[in-house]
Amino acid sequence: MHRRRDLGGIVFVDLRDRDGIVQVAIGPGWAPAAVVTRAQGLGAESVVVVEGAVVARPPAMQNAELATGAVEVQATALTVVGAAETPPIPVARGKGEELPAEELRLRYRHLDLRRPELQANLMLRHRLLQRARRALSDLDFLEIETPILTKPTPEGARDYLVPSRVHPGEFYALPQSPQIYKQLLMVAGFDRYFQLARCFRDEDLRFDRQPEFTQIDIEAAFVGQEDVLGYVEAVLAALWSEAGHRLAAPFPRMSWRDAMERYGTDKPDLRFDFTIGDWTSHVRPLGVPFFQNALQNGARVRGIAVPGGSALSRKDVDQLAETAKAAGAPGLAWIKRQGEQVSGSVGKHFTVDAAGTLGVRDGDAALMTVGVDRVTSPALDRVRQEVIRRLAPAPKMAHALCWVVDFPLFQPDPETGRPVFSHHPFTAPHPDDVAKLDRDPFACRALHYDAVYNGHELGSGSIRITDPAVQRRIFAHLGLAPADIDERFGFLIGALAAGAPPHGGFAIGFDRVVMLLSGAGSLRDVIAFPKTTAARALFEGAPGPARAEDLAVLHVKVES
14 binds ligand ASP (CB under 6 A): no
Cβ closest to ligand ASP, residue 253 vs residue 396: 253
Residues with Cβ < 8 Å from 378, sequence gap 6 or more?
264, 265, 327, 328
Q: Which is nearer to ligand ASP, 48 or 428 (CB)?
A: 428
**Could you tell me how many residues of this chain bind ligand ASP (CB under 6 A)?**
10
CA 96 from centroid of its chain's CA atoms? 28
Q: Which stretch binds ligand ASP (CB under 6 A): 141-149, 157-165, 469-477, 502-510?
A: 502-510
Query: How far is Cα 379 from Cα 480, in angstroms, rounded to an integer?
Result: 34
What's the CA gap between 519 and 407, in Å, rounded?
30
Judged by CB, which is closer to ligand ASP: 309, or 461? Answer: 461
Q: Which part of the chain contacts ligand ASP (CB under 6 A), choosing from 22-30, 76-84, 341-349, 503-511?
A: 503-511
Nearer to ligand ASP, 332 or 507 (CB): 507
Among 180, 461, 471, 520, binds ligand ASP (CB under 6 A): 461
- How far apart are CB 424 and ligand ASP at their closest, in Å? 6
In terms of CB distance, is 22 or 444 closer to ligand ASP? 444
E strand segments, 265-364: 276-278, 300-306, 333-338, 341-343
* Edge-to-edge order in the sheet of strand 300-306: 276-278, 300-306, 365-371, 333-338, 341-343
Stretch that binds ligand ASP, among 124-132, 391-399, 409-417, 459-467 (CB under 6 A): 459-467
Nearer of residues 199 and 368 to ligand ASP, judged by Cβ: 199
Give the C-alpha separation, 54 to 343, whole Å. Answer: 70
Does residue 363 contact residue 335 with C-beta atoms inside 8 Å?
no
| Sole binder of ligand ASP in the list 462, 466, 471, 518 (CB under 6 A) | 462
Q: Which is nearer to ligand ASP, 219 or 364 (CB)?
A: 219
DSSP annotation of 445 reads B
Toward ligand ASP, which CB reaches closer, 270 or 507? 507
Interface region with ligand ASP, contact rule CB under 6 A, candidates 78-86, 245-253, 259-267, 500-508: 500-508
Q: What x/- string results for residues 405 through 444 when contact with ligand ASP is judged by CB under 6 A?
A: -------------------x--------------------
- Which range touches ligand ASP (CB under 6 A), out of 355-363, 434-442, 457-465, 512-520? 457-465
- Output DSSP code: residue 161: E
Comparing CA positions, the residue from 207, 227, 54, 214 lying closest to residue 139 is 227
Helices (H), 264-342: 280-283, 289-296, 314-326
Dihedral sign from CA coordinates of 357, 359, 361, 367: negative
Instruction: Say whether residue 471 binds ligand ASP (CB under 6 A).
Output: no
Cβ closest to ligand ASP, residue 350 vs residue 506: 506
Piece of the chain touching ligand ASP by CB under 6 A; list 73-81, 261-269, 456-464, 466-474: 456-464
Residue closer to ligand ASP (CB basis): 264 or 461? 461
Q: Which stretch binds ligand ASP (CB under 6 A): 85-93, 273-281, 401-409, 505-513?
A: 505-513
User: HSE-up of 378 (CA within 13 Å, CB side)?
Assistant: 9
Among 181, 240, 403, 506, binds ligand ASP (CB under 6 A): 506
Instruction: Give the per-residue SS3 of 205-238.
Output: CCCCCCCEEEEEEEEEECCCHHHHHHHHHHHHHH
SS3 344: coil
Single residue of 73, 505, 515, 518 touching ligand ASP by CB under 6 A? 505
Least Å from the CB of residue 155 to ligand ASP: 5
Closer residue to ligand ASP (CB): 181 or 274 = 181
CB of 86 to ligand ASP, least distance (A): 45
List of residues 6+ apart from 440 with CB closer than 8 A: none
Q: How far is the CB of 258 from ligand ASP (least distance, A)?
A: 22
Q: Is 305 helix (H, G, I), strand (E, B) or coil?
A: strand
CA 514 to chain centre: 9
Work out how close the CB of 176 gets to ligand ASP at its nearest, in angstroms, rounded to a whole number. 7
Surface-to-core class of residue 342, CB atoms within 10 Å of its CB (0-12 exposed, 13-18 middle, 19+ buried): buried
Please confirm whether the linkage preceding 543 is cis (ω < 30° from 0): yes
Rounded to a whole number of angstroms, the minimum distance from the CB of residue 280 to ligand ASP is 36
Buried b (16+ CB within 10 A) or exposed e, 399-434: ebbbbbbbbbbbeeeeeeeebebbbbbbbbbbeebe
Is residue 507 part of the contact set for ligand ASP (CB under 6 A)?
A: yes
Looking at residues 135 to 194 of the shown chain, list those that interact with ligand ASP (rule: CB under 6 A): 155, 177, 179
- Residues binding ligand ASP (CB under 6 A): 155, 177, 179, 424, 460-462, 505-507
